[in-house]
């Protein structure tokens, strides 16, 4: 066990966990930030996508000891009132079905738009290909990303 | 207006004497402390100081807010929005004043709190309407009493009561206290369809906001004070059972509390339909946190041994009790294929025979024949199986994603030795179900672990535990044969269908009834690999084979595939063969005509690679046209056009979303879905090997059209899934000249 000081969603958090613990379980079990989801544990499904220093990463394979001083953002901290352009677009297009993968989808989409405010269809597909949705909401996810891109520009 | 007697579903209207202030809904507060308030559209509204319970479905606040309970679990079908919409319609309130809550399991108040068979709206339709209409009538009676005017002179609109002269008005909230004291009316007037204001208009998902902000709403998001985390270790192969394990070696690991074996079901227990249990005994590891338990799960040493053939008693959903044999052995996919091939080449049990099929084949000028196969499939719900249980002192407080909670409750009661009335089950949102969560052995495991620990426990499956734990879509094979006479006319169809361990055959579905000479045979092969319902069971395979085969026959008789199907449906309508034909030929033809019109069939540039398919299941008719290109040995799907006849559509945008989901899911499973076995071991255990459809492979556009009609609503979650397999296969044929008859279509040596 070791103590880690983490900066998550703009707040300083201290946890006492085994250094090998993935951020996914630190967030869920220890900080009760449960919006970040477990789907596969091997970075293949994208359900656990968070931002590390502004970059989309899979929290299930990011050990707490490798975070250091980099800032972490989770779905709970994407916006104060759920009004990030991507969240707004998701509601407008009514994207989710079961909803389980959607936090990961939104975090991937938000990171994409931060780096590329006006992505092409192909760029959207490439950026989102790491996020699985078994319900099959892909066409609406793409539409919502375009809507968010349009509203932000 | 229609009048419906309240005798139907009367128990749903049990008066609130037993509920007021302390009934199950209000008393079910043990989880509320760890659940956020229902957020959604009510975030800024003041909550009322008092709720008046009108019946089990709804309560009205003095400030005119209305809470509507959604009885069935939500797993992405959007019933948590559409079921309350039906209540709100008949109650005649403004949707903006409605708060929706998920009802816990309550067999006194609700019936059929299921996810399954696409029946929530169809079977809930009348009861939900009556719940709203009964409350409205009680409010109108209250107004008539207090204003001392005849009931017939009271009208309602958007949560308000009016006297016809317009001098008096009151909100529902003002009359709710009086109304809640009134008797439930004997007869209830329902709105006529042209009076609908909410049904048929698109309303956003009531949980949309909670989802996009990451609020806790799923079973795995349950955390309570003192809660322990548990995982199980199950045998690595079908055909194996627990021999021994070394728990002591991992008990010293960080955070580990206990390690013990769990016997999931008693040997002499008569299983209900959904009590399929792959591994009768598992090892439970209990600890403080998920990661710690995961480490112990990797470290534990367990010995397994092959089991002997055994029997189990089972009470199916319908029909008499069955004695099943679970065969010993470590099975292989290659052997499965050989066994299916042998069975399919023999004569089997005849399920339906019309005319003289043998004669027609004997005198045929041409016979077309093709065999179709499909593999076992894992459900792969994105939320792995999990369940929360707090079982102490002859009482069980349970919570999790269940599709058939009222059946699971009986199994839990029997296994825990706790009476039904001491078991409370809270229904959490399902991170996908597709049939998998009807088989809740993991709920029993969680409850037994909690009972042993005498502490609240959340059982979580890893992805690997989930994918290798059984309850799969069965493996299937069907051979279709068609006889053409010297005039190139279709004279006979022969279907030989079977599977491991169930047959996919629906002998009375199309094209039965449309072909003069018809023979349908069925067979099964036993296995110890467990199976379960998988989105449109059996239909999901039969549609793909039947609709691909009809395409091939249409080509052989030189007819347009849609025209050919319409001619057969004409025959079935005007001059049906046989008596038990399980479809309405006119509605079937209706979706084909609509999809033809909307897809620009044979009439545009991409029509070169268009494929069509249509199927009837779960009381609804669906037809699809796939437009695609073939590049680098895989399809680029530009568009899927879908026509569906599911009666009245409650929430059109959400309904279209569900159709889109079925189509994407179907294309994904058709192209990639497959689970194979070697010596009883599933050869895929996570998404690195089990290929799921991803965004770049999904259709670029999906265009859904509903047939407009006034029929009561029918199924929607499943009907768009089965036909798309064949629409895709038929489009691939146009593009490549090859018939892809073996699933998965891609990277499958059987298709070359």
Three-state secondary structure string covering B457-515? EEEECCHHHHHCCCCEECEEEEEEEEEECCCCCEEEEEEEEEEECCCCCCCCCCCCCCC
For residue A70, is it within any domain? yes
Beta bridge partners of B678: B681
Rounded-to-integer distance, Cα B651 and Cα B659, Å: 12
Residue A150 is predicted with a pLDDT of: 87
Picking from A57-66, B6-15, B373-382, B571-580, which range would have the lowest pLDDT averaged per residue?
B6-15
The number of C-alpha atoms within 13 Å of B694 and in the hemisphere containing its C-beta is 17
For residue A8, is it within any domain? yes
Mean pLDDT value across residues A119-134: 98
Residue A96 Cα, gap to closest chain B Cα (Å): 7
CB B588 within 8 A of CB B614: yes
Angle between helices B652-672 and B79-91 (to 10 degrees): 160
Run of H or E including B653: helix B652-672
Based on the fold, state whether residues A59 and A119 are members of the same structural domain: no
Q: What band does B39 get if pLDDT is binned at 50, 70 and 90?
A: very low
CB nearest to A44's CB, from B383, B433, B688: B688
State which of A47, A75, A103 marks the end of a domain.
Answer: A75
Based on the fold, state whether residues A127 and A94 are members of the same structural domain: yes
Rounded-to-integer distance, Cα B378 and Cα A129, Å: 21
Please give the biggest Cα pair distance in chain B: 83
| Domain range enclosing A13 | 2-75
CB A113 within 8 A of CB A153: no
Residue B667 is predicted with a pLDDT of: 98
B605/A114: higher pLDDT: A114
Residue B318 is predicted with a pLDDT of: 85
Interchain CB contact of B29 with A (< 8 Å): no
Asked if A94 lies within 8 A of B205 by C-beta distance, the reply is: yes
Please give the biggest Cα pair distance in chain A: 47
**Residue B268 dihedral angles phi and psi, to the nearest 5°:** -95, 10
Rounded-to-integer distance, Cα B355 and Cα B344, Å: 22
Nearest Cα neighbor of B669 from B238, B380, B333, B335 is: B380
Residue A152 is predicted with a pLDDT of: 58
Residue A109 Cα, gap to closest chain B Cα (Å): 12
CB < 8 Å to B670, chain A: none
Based on the fold, state whether residues A93 and A147 are members of the same structural domain: yes
B17/B526: higher pLDDT: B526
Query: Taking the CB of residue B656, how many other CB atoms lie within 10 A of it?
Result: 23
Angle between helices B120-147 and B79-91 (to 10 degrees): 30
State which of A29, A49, A75 marks the end of a domain.
Answer: A75
How far CA B550 is from CA of A23, B218, B342, B408, B729, in Å, comes to 53, 43, 24, 41, 12
Based on the fold, state whether residues A71 and A89 are members of the same structural domain: no
Picking from B106-110, B399-403, B685-689, which range would have the lowest pLDDT averaged per residue?
B106-110
State which of A75, A105, A135 marks the end of a domain.
Answer: A75
Residue B12 is predicted with a pLDDT of: 39
Q: How many structural domains compose chain A?
A: 2
B125-142 pLDDT, tens digit per residue, is 999 999 999 999 999 999
The yes-or-no verdict on residue B88 having pLDDT over 50 is yes
Q: Is the complex ipTM higher than 0.90?
A: yes
Looking up residue A21, the CATH number of its domain turns out to be 3.10.20.30
For residue A94, is it within any domain? yes
Residue of B nearest to A22 (CA): B291
Residue A104 Cα, gap to closest chain B Cα (Å): 10
For chain B, what is the mean pLDDT?
93
Domains recognised in chain B with CATH numbers: 2-212 (3.30.365.10), 220-310+385-460 (3.30.365.10), 347-377+472-751 (3.30.365.10)
Specify the pTM: 0.95
Residue where the block lists tokens 């199916």: B316
Based on the fold, state whether residues A55 and A32 are members of the same structural domain: yes
CB B664 within 8 A of CB B671: no
Q: What band does B186 get if pLDDT is binned at 50, 70 and 90?
A: confident
Mean pLDDT value across residues B453-480: 98
Interchain CB contact of B657 with A (< 8 Å): yes
**Residue B626 dihedral angles phi and psi, to the nearest 5°:** -100, 130
CB nearest to A34's CB, from B74, B216, B664: B216
Looking up residue A105, the CATH number of its domain turns out to be 1.10.150.120
Based on the fold, state whether residues A91 and A66 are members of the same structural domain: no
Based on the fold, state whether residues A7 and A69 are members of the same structural domain: yes
Based on the fold, state whether residues A144 and A91 are members of the same structural domain: yes
Rounded-to-integer distance, Cα B510 and Cα B446, Å: 44
Based on the fold, state whether residues A61 and A38 are members of the same structural domain: yes
Q: What band does B14 get if pLDDT is binned at 50, 70 and 90?
A: very low
Q: Where are the alpha helices (DSSP H) in B330-401?
A: 333-344, 357-362
Mean pLDDT value across residues B621-633: 96
Listed in sequence order, the residues at least 6 apart from B394 whose beta carbon sits closer than 8 Å to its beta carbon are B418, B419, B422
Q: Which residue, among A15, A45, A106, A135, would best test binding to B if mutated, counting the most B CBs under 10 Å from its CB?
A: A135
Interchain CB contact of B397 with A (< 8 Å): no
**Residue B465 dihedral angles phi and psi, to the nearest 5°:** -60, -40
Listed in sequence order, the residues at least 6 apart from B191 whose beta carbon sits closer than 8 Å to its beta carbon are B1, B89, B90, B92, B129, B133
Percent of chain B with pLDDT over 70: 93
Output the CA torsion B349→B350→B356→B358 (10° steps): -20
Rounded-to-integer distance, Cα B645 and Cα B124, Å: 18
Residue B41 is predicted with a pLDDT of: 44
How remote is the C-alpha of B556 from its chain's centroid?
A: 37
A79-90 pLDDT, tens digit per residue, is 999 999 999 999
For residue A80, is it within any domain? no
Q: Which two tokens stand for residue B25?
A: 């809904």
What is the DSSP-derived secondary structure letter of residue A76? G
The yes-or-no verdict on residue B205 having pLDDT over 50 is yes
Q: Which two tokens stand for residue B470?
A: 């059984």
Residue where the block lists tokens 């979580």: B460
Q: Which two tokens stand for residue A113?
A: 């738009």
CB < 8 Å to B289, chain A: 17, 25, 29-30
CB < 8 Å to B213, chain A: 35, 75-76, 78, 82, 87
**Residue B341 dihedral angles phi and psi, to the nearest 5°:** -60, -45
Run of H or E including B83: helix B79-91
Length of chain A equals: 153
Asked if B382 lies within 8 A of A133 by C-beta distance, the reply is: yes
Q: Sign of torsion, CA B414 B416 B417 B418?
A: negative
Based on the fold, state whether residues A61 and A89 are members of the same structural domain: no
The yes-or-no verdict on residue A6 having pLDDT over 80 is yes
Q: What band does B752 get if pLDDT is binned at 50, 70 and 90?
A: confident
Run of H or E including B681: strand B681-682
Based on the fold, state whether residues A37 and A96 are members of the same structural domain: no
Picking from B162-171, B275-284, B332-341, B530-539, which range would have the lowest pLDDT averaged per residue?
B162-171
Residue B182 is predicted with a pLDDT of: 87
Residue A67 Cα, gap to closest chain B Cα (Å): 17
Mean pLDDT value across residues A10-36: 98
The yes-or-no verdict on residue B727 having pLDDT over 60 is yes
What is the DSSP-derived secondary structure letter of residue B427? E
For residue A71, is it within any domain? yes
For residue A128, is it within any domain? yes
A residues 110-129 closer than 8 Å to B (CB):
121, 124-126, 128-129
Mean pLDDT value across residues B211-232: 97
Based on the fold, state whether residues A71 and A15 are members of the same structural domain: yes
Residue B316 is predicted with a pLDDT of: 86
Q: Which residue, among B78, B211, B254, would best test binding to A if mutated, counting the most A CBs under 10 Å from its CB?
A: B211
CB B233 within 8 A of CB B300: yes
Interchain CB contact of A96 with B (< 8 Å): yes
B residues 199-238 closer than 8 Å to A (CB):
204-205, 207-209, 211-218, 220-221, 223, 229
DSSP string, B28-64: --TTGGGSPPP-GGGTTSPPPS-EEEEETTEEEETTS
A residues 58-77 closer than 8 Å to B (CB):
74-76
CB nearest to B212's CB, from A91, A97, A131: A91
For residue A50, is it within any domain? yes
Percent of chain A with pLDDT over 70: 99
Listed in sequence order, the residues at least 6 apart from B549 whose beta carbon sits closer than 8 Å to its beta carbon are B368, B370, B372, B480, B482
Rounded-to-integer distance, Cα A129 and Cα B231, Å: 30
Nearest Cα neighbor of B448 from B250, B266, B236 is: B266
CB < 8 Å to B223, chain A: 29, 32, 34
Mean pLDDT value across residues B426-444: 98
How remote is the C-alpha of B170 from its chain's centroid?
A: 42
Rg (CA), chain B: 28
Q: Which two tokens stand for residue B96?
A: 């903006």
Mean pLDDT value across residues B431-459: 98
Residue B221 Cα, gap to closest chain A Cα (Å): 6
């Amino acid at each position: 066990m070791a103590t880690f000081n983490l900066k998550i969603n703009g707040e300083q958090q201290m946890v006492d966990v085994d250094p090998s613990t993935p951020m996914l379980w630190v967030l869920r079990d220890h900080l009760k930030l449960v919006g970040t989801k477990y789907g596969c544990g091997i970075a293949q499904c994208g359900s656990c996508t968070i931002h590390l220093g502004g970059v989309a990463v899979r929290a299930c394979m990011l050990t707490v000891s490798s975070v250091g001083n980099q800032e972490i953002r989770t779905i709970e901290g994407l916006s104060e009132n759920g009004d990030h352009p991507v969240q707004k677009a998701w509601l407008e297009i009514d994207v989710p079905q079961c909803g389980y993968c959607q936090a990961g989808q939104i975090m991937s989409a938000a990171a994409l738009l931060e780096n590329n405010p006006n992505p092409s269809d192909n760029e959207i597909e490439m950026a989102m290909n790491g996020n699985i949705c078994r319900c099959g909401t892909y066409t609406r996810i793409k539409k919502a990303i375009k809507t968010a891109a349009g509203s932000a520009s | 207006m229609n009048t419906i007697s309240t005798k139907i579903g009367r128990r749903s209207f049990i008066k609130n004497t037993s509920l007021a202030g302390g009934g199950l809904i209000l008393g079910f507060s043990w989880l509320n402390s760890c659940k956020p308030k229902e957020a959604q559209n009510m975030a800024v509204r003041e909550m009322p100081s008092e709720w008046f319970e009108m019946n089990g479905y709804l309560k009205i606040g003095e400030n005119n807010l209305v809470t509507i309970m959604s009885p069935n679990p939500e797993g992405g079908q959007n019933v948590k929005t559409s079921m309350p919409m039906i209540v709100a319609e008949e109650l005649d309130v403004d949707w903006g004043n409605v708060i929706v809550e998920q009802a816990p399991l309550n067999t006194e108040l609700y019936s059929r709190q299921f996810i399954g068979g696409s029946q929530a709206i169809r079977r809930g339709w009348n009861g939900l309407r009556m719940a709203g209409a009964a409350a409205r009538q009680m409010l109108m009676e209250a107004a008539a009493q207090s204003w001392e005017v005849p009931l017939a002179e009271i009208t309602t609109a958007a949560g308000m009561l009016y006297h016809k002269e317009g001098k008096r008005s009151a909100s529902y909230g003002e009359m709710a206290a009086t109304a809640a004291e009134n008797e439930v009316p004997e007869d209830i007037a329902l709105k006529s369809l042209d009076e609908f204001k909410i049904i048929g208009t698109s309303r956003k998902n009531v949980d949309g906001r909670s989802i996009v902000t990451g609020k806790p709403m799923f079973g795995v998001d349950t955390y309570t004070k003192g809660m322990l985390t548990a995982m199980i270790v199950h045998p690595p192969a079908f055909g194996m059972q627990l021999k021994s394990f070394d728990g002591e070696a991992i008990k010293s690991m960080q955070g580990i509390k206990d390690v013990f074996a769990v016997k999931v079901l008693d040997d002499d227990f008569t299983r209900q339909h959904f009590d399929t249990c792959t591994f009768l005994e598992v090892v439970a590891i209990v600890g403080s946190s998920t990661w710690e338990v995961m480490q112990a799960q990797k470290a534990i040493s367990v010995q397994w041994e092959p089991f002997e053939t055994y029997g189990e008693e089972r009470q199916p959903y319908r029909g008499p009790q069955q004695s099943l044999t679970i065969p010993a052995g470590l099975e292989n996919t290659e052997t499965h294929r050989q066994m299916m091939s042998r069975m399919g080449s023999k004569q089997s049990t005849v399920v339906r025979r019309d005319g003289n099929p043998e004669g027609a084949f004997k005198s045929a000028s041409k016979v077309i024949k093709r065999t179709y196969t499909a593999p076992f499939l894992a459900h792969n719900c994105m939320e792995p199986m999990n369940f929360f249980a707090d079982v102490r002192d002859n009482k069980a407080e349970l919570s999790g994603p269940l599709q058939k909670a009222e059946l699971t409750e009986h199994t839990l009661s029997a296994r825990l030795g706790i009476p039904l009335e001491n078991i409370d089950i809270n229904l959490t949102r399902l991170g996908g179900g597709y049939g998998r969560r009807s088989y809740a052995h993991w709920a029993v495991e969680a409850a037994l672990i909690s009972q042993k620990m005498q502490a609240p426990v959340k059982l979580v499956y890893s992805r690997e535990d989930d994918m290798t734990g059984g309850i799969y879509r069965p493996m299937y094979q069907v051979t279709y044969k068609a006889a053409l006479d010297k005039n190139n006319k279709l004279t006979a169809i022969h279907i030989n269908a079977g599977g491991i361990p169930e047959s996919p055959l629906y002998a009375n579905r199309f094209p039965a009834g449309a072909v003069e000479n018809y023979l349908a045979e069925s067979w099964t092969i036993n296995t110890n690999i467990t199976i379960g319902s998988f989105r449109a069971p059996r239909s999901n395979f039969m549609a793909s084979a039947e609709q691909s085969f009809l395409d091939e026959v249409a080509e052989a008789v030189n007819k347009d595939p849609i025209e050919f199907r319409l001619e057969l449906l004409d025959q079935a309508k005007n001059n049906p063969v046989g008596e038990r034909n399980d479809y309405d030929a006119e509605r079937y033809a209706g979706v084909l005509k609509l999809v033809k019109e909307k897809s620009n069939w044979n009439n545009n540039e991409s029509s070169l690679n268009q494929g069509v398919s249509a199927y009837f299941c779960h009381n609804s008719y669906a037809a699809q046209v796939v437009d695609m290109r073939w590049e680098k040995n895989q399809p680029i799907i530009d568009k899927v056009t879908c026509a569906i006849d599911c009666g009245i559509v409650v929430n059109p945008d959400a309904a279209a979303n569900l159709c889109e989901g079925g189509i994407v899911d179907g294309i994904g499973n058709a192209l990639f879905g497959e689970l194979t076995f070697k010596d009883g071991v599933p050869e895929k255990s996570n998404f690195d090997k089990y290929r799921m459809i991803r965004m770049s492979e999904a259709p670029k556009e999906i265009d859904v059209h509903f047939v407009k009609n006034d029929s009561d609503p029918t199924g929607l979650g499943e009907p768009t899934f089965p036909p798309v397999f064949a629409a895709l296969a038929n489009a691939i044929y146009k593009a490549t000249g090859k018939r892809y008859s073996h699933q998965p279509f891609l990277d499958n040596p059987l298709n070359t």
